[in-house]
């Protein structure tokens, strides 16, 4: 039986370059993606240990989203194909979506489980997890 995180990682291998927002203490998906040949950078507001091959940038996605309101392009680490987050709380869904949109990247996330998405999304069942894709206005 495939673990829910392994199934999510398998789905995300559709992308070559990804950012995981808020990696915290759950590096399994990022590590699996790197093992599959993807380039992954993790971000968090706190320093977080990441596995070999996973880049790390300390970043506040809310502050970054606020800085992007003037139409500027996001810089590293957000020059990617996809921005994803696992167990993304409701208050961070719009900022993560906004950063992904500014980068022209897809935005994918799971919620805390008891919360519904607060932004318009598509839904995809991946094993026992629901993967949400924010509706995008890609450039």
The predicted structure's pLDDT at residue 71: 66
pLDDT score of 72:
67
With a pLDDT cut of 70, the percent of the chain lying above it is 92
pLDDT tier for residue 68 given thresholds of 50, 70 and 90:
confident
Which residue is it, tokens 């990696």?
A: 23
The structural domains of the chain, ordered by start, are 4-134 (3.40.50.150)
- Supply the pTM of this predicted model: 0.92
């Amino acid at each position: 039986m495939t673990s829910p995180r392994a199934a999510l990682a398998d789905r995300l291998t559709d992308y070559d370059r990804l950012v995981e927002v808020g990696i915290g203490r759950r590096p399994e998906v990022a590590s699996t993606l790197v093992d599959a040949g993807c380039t992954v950078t993790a971000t968090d507001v706190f320093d977080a240990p990441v596995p070999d091959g996973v880049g790390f940038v300390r970043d506040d996605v809310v502050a970054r989203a606020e800085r992007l309101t003037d139409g500027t392009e996001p810089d590293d680490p957000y020059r990617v194909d996809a921005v994803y987050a696992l167990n993304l709380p409701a208050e961070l869904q719009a900022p993560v979506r906004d950063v992904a949109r500014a980068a022209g990247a897809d935005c994918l996330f799971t919620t805390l489980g008891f919360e519904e998405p607060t932004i318009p999304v598509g839904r995809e069942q991946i094993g026992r997890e629901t993967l949400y894709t924010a509706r995008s206005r890609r450039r």
